[in-house]
Structure 1
Amino acid sequence: MGRSGPIQNQRHIARQRAIAYLSVGAGLVLGYALLRGADWRSSITLHTVMEVVATLLALTVAAIALVRFYSKKNNTFLFIGAGFLGTSLLDGYHAVVTSAAFKPFMPSDLPALSPWSWFAPRLFLSIFLFLSWLAWRRERQLGEAGRIGERSVYLFAGAFTALSFSFFAFLPLPRAYYPELAFHRPEELLPALFFLAALAGYLRKGDWRHDMFEHWLVLSLIVSLVGQAVFMSFSRELFDIEFDAAHLLKMVSYVCVLTGLLGSIYTAFRFEARRAEAMAKAKVAAEMALAELDQRDVDLIAQNERFNAALEHMSQGLSMFDREQRLIVCNQRYASMYGLSSEQTALGTTLRQILEHRIANGLYAGEDPEAYIQERMAWVTSGRRSTKIQERSDGRAIAITHQPMSGGGWLTTHEDVTEITQAQQIVQRQKEELDQILSNVPRAVVTIDSSGIIRTFNPAAEQTFGYPAGEAIGQNVSLLMPAQDRHHHDGYLRSYIETGVSKFIESGPRRLTGGRKDGTEFPMELALGVVGKGKDTGFIGVAKDITEELKVETRLIEHRDLLQKEVDLATADLNAKAEELKRALKKEQELNKLQRQFVAMASHEFRTPLSIIDGSAQFLSRNIEDITPDYLLSKTGKIRSAVARMTRLMESTLTVARLEEGKNTIEIGPCDIGKVVREVCALQHELTQTHVITCNLEGLPQTIQADPGSLEQIFTNLLSNAVKYAPHAPDIRVTARREGDHVAVQVCDRGLGIDEEDLPKVFERFFRAKTSTGIEGTGIGLNLTKSLVEMHGGTIEIRSEKDKGSIITVRLPVAGPEGAQQSDTRAA
């Protein structure tokens, strides 16, 4: 009946673990089914980060596994440690060679290098995990003779790793992706087979039912198997969802092994502690049994030998004295702890003599040896079980436990607790330092548990909230809130414990209202943080009374508003003066304009239209009686066309002059761009009866921020060029549309076009393309148009092909150029 309880518990644990294995495997496969085909693509940077983390995890697992091996020789830990050591090197190599920095120096492209450098550590690890099971099986069958030396294992691991490095560094790799196959990366099935073989071996071994490490190792093998066979083998390309999920599962499998190792170490430590406790109880039982033994010599000797054997295997020092304070027995550990020789621990040696030997050996750290001896002798004769910590002169701490025996005498155990004592001292120092920090922090610091109960309350919190620490600690933290807010607090706390989400914690410091003991309320700034996890979850709050800060802030706002009013008044005055100056400058510019017009009219280009006008006028004056109305209309059309050409030449020449002097001004304001384009098209059609101009302006907004005059000049130049350079192609198309925050106006002709080598120069001043030979022009039209477009914050582009025509597109921002709130924009 006594054994049935543990057996039932063991079976229950085994069933739970088997269910966990099935759940993890099925859950991962179901996860793949849900994720498959997802539109996901990560980056090479994320891949490098994941591989660096995997490298560090593998190196940690290797270090702990090898420490476990050397503490207790076991081939399983040797192979796992060597396997993860090699894997960490290969994972690190994979992370480096596939990173953005090293990719250009490798002989293979990333689509081949990344899969194969991933494949190498996975194959290496799967083989070593399978070999770890084979090594266990061999050792079980052959005993000590079946144990494999670590030198052989390290040589094999090193050779495999070095071969992998050389292979990737110096040889071009074959392709790794086969989209035509069911498994896009079929090579991943090879390490999957080794993971499967290792999983089958460890499941058959059966230690997973009761051994924590092998339980986590089986979980790691399941995760690795699914990651290889289900996720990575179906990866279609680098950085897709299957690719990243397989990398994540690799890190999870490493964490599983690391968890198992740490759990194994913890279990071993706990076993040793229980073993020591059991041995202590066995010693007491042995002492009691010895007191009741028969005086027969043979039985006494046999019992004594068994007792001595047990004593020598103890990790603690043990000594036993009779009622006369004479040594009955002690083990070797006791003698070595105090540097006692066999003569000094002979039977019958008194406690005083042993204490004097300790003092003579320099192990006593006090200043009064005799007081020390008297205190020890009084302690052992007190008749009570007790424990003391004795510090030796060499700094070691020994825990001495005194256990009185029935019939007189006592049993004493001696255990070196130096490391435990030092750890306790460190914890105590840290606690004192933390208390000192909290005491000196100028802000209120309050910590609470998951139920909202206050656990710490520093002096600044006492001053802020008016509660003494002794009164606040143990109370619900809602005590520090206004009465109307207290009933909400516990609900917020429960919600965070259940969901892990809280807008108060995640949003950073917040301004709230606090409540003092005297019932007053005050504004405060509160920052919240989470401490611990699960059942140990707690919260820390740092609060500051911001009453004075808000007063200062209010005064600053009032001062700012006053300054703003003064600035607005000064600005209005400056604007008025600027308008007055602008009017004066405009008048001066008008005078200069007349001067520039006179100079510009002296060019050769002005003489041609004047000649046309003069010739037509003379002909009309000579033949006025014979002129028909149609002929008169033709001649007046020529005159109007010549006048229009003179007007365009004057406007272009004057605008260029203004641009050169940096004084050209455009007036930015609401502009009906559709109306401007339609008027330009109508005017050009009226002047040019030989061409048909088609306008499609349905895509334009009602208005944009622009200068109507400049837009008229831009589109007049473009349309006149389209007519002029398309003498035998009468169709001219003007289309417009909105493109996001811009409008695009396009002028298209099927005329002479422009040579490809001339296109880059068409916007240069005075440049004329080869195809314009024999056609009048100054070479400033497109240059001027580009300048006006750029002053509006827009762009102009031209696409042209010789003998097929040209398409010129102007894009202008709907909101106008930067700084459009100003009244004008000047040429730089």
Structure 2
Amino acid sequence: MVVATWANGGMVLSDELHMISAMGGALTGLPGIGDCLDQHGIVLGVHLDRDGFHECAAKRPLPELILLDALSPEGDGLEDCRRLKGNVVTRDIPVIILVSPQDEQTKIAGFAAGAVDCVSNLVSAAELVARFKRHIELAAAQARLQRRNEQLETALASMGQGVCLFDESGRLLLSNNRYAEVYGLDPAVIHPGQSLEDILNLRLEVGAVPATSTSDYLAWAEATNMGDVPQDWIKELKSGRIIRGYHQRTPEGGWVSTHEDITKAWFAEKALAEAHAQAERAEQEARAAHARLLAAFEVVPEGLVLFDAEDRFVLWNRRYEQLYAESGDMLAKGMRFEDRLRAGLERGQYPEAVGREDEWLEERLAHHAAPTSNHEQRLPGNRWIRIEERRISEGGSVGIRVDITDLKMQEASFRLLFEGNPMPMWVYDRETLKFLHVNQAAIDHYGYRLEQFVTMTLRDIQVPQDAARATAAVFDAEDPAATTCSSRHLKADGGAIEVTVYSTCLNYKGKAAALMAVADVTEAKRAEKALLQHRDTLEEMVRSRTVELARQTEELERMLEQEKHINELQRQFVSMASHEFRTPLAVIDGAAQRLIRRKEAATPEFLAEKTDQIRSSVSRMLELMESILAAGRLDHGRITIVPKPCSIAEIIETCSARQESIRRSHRFLLELDRIPETIYGDRPALDQVFSNLFSNAVKYAPDSPNVHVTGWQEGESVCITVRDEGIGIDADDLPKMFQRYFRARSSTGIAGTGIGLNLVKQIVELHGGTIEVVSSRGNGTTFTLRIPIGAEMSDELRVAG
């Protein structure tokens, strides 16, 4: 036990923290007081210094009771009581004053001074200790009641609903600020003592009443408030708000009610009810669409295959199986790609790997591991396929197999036609006139070796007098139609021959080239009259063959272009369907299915949860589409920045409110008092900047609900920081954060395109501003924007690109 000493002969009852102050020897006159106090575990200490007593009484922990003697010779006990009650620290400590039994005036003065009890100085020790304990219990009960009142006031202030309590006469007893705010009133105008009609008149001024007369509304309110059965009602106000209320009578005859603004929820429930009515039909349509998607996947003429991050088979179509029928083992989900290749090698699936299996396997796996690859592969039966593969952001890959056997056969036929043609033919570069390839007939007829031909140009075989005219004729042949001209060529032995040249344009290994067929008409010229008919026939035959060759070339190029276009569309389709849109669509589909299954027993909380899931997924898809479209518009110069006076604070508040309505788990803490009221900027573009930043702050901080947005003016610029407390970014990823399609390692498992921050940076720079990022792994991320305030470009347009 702890013993402390007080003034005026006062004594402290420690252990239970009781305090007694006795003047002089007042307690010594009570027989048995010592034993009685000892029995209750009370130790007394005596201190004669009066100021020391008051100083100790104010120290914590505070005593639970103080005993004063009104007739103490050391000082006036009543004055001590008034002094204790005048101190904010000790004023709530109960005080008992010992008085003379016949002294009524002192008793009255003691109660006036703030004492809780005035006890005769002749009282027995047992009664005095009993009074001590009783008043201590009463003081503890009052303290608990005060704490509960404070807790009640705190709870009322923090409630999202408006709460009011009226007495039996219809007067307001208490209300929280939200009660006034629900009806668009200043909380300061609502105070206890007002009648319901007084408050209704205040609401009438701001249109926060239903579209009925005041008397009708008061009659309805009285009937609702006076009913014994709790009432739950919904009213639409003239201002357009929808208010839900709950009334219940109190035992004393008054009533308590809650008031909640459910405008958004009301319209959301109406939309949800409409969606609920269509859910069954939507489910059927969704299932039918899913079946059509799978059917479309199967009817694609190319082989399609999808691998996971560990190169295991996930999905493929029947055409893929048919192309690799010789591999033997049936494909199964989870089978490793390398295992499939090894099975094919054992069964002769890949003729080009025979004798070099290990080397071929290494090369094939290297192609497969590349971010993108495109190569051709020969299969048994002289079949050929083109393989196109692309890695996706989740770590897997998608592959397309195109059967190009017919194309290879056409190419072989073209090569055979070229190599085996009896007419001299060659392909030359239309820009440099250098020979690119010649056939055997040209080598035999002109006498140059192949090695010589490929080092020469078309001018080297021209007779000098005809070189300029021939070159001009060549350069005039710009369209792909066949052209014909006469010329004189030099053979390797120096002899000149007269030739007729048939030429057509084509693309040869990525170069602008021409195919030329040469007919030696030297002998025909010498015997022109005798062989005129034969020459005409020969020329017609050559012309026909050349036109057919041109037609075949055109058809080949057209087929190649068509195939490239189809392949590109397929890659885009598979990449998009398997990546960004699959997850939100699955969430929407799952939410819709659960709504259907529980449509009869769905609670408002369940419907709200599923609505939030659907809205969040739709919002994600809209963000993806808007980011992709905006990036495309920037790339093609179709985004125009039109600086106009606008409030950047209003833009930030709108974007944060929109994000909070989508992601109810987060809140935005705005500090925008130090930014200018108006800057010059493009409001829609800045809205897109902050929408992207706020969406990222929520998405990459799933377990940290606070997002801090701070703004200030710095010189001629306004500065805005957006800080989250999320997963953060690795230091070596920070320099790449604004690159197109780049995603940090810390974002693994979180959906995204890598477009948003690049778009934000371009829009900020188009405003003449800058953006910086500071972050570390696990410590959140801060983006800082600096945008000029001034209007130096207010009469001009900033145009992307």
- Structure with greater strand share of residues: 2
**More relative contact order in 1 or in 2 (CA 8 Å, sep 6+)?**
1
Structure-2-length-normalised TM-score: 0.28
Structure-1-length-normalised TM-score: 0.27
- Structure with greater helix share of residues: 1
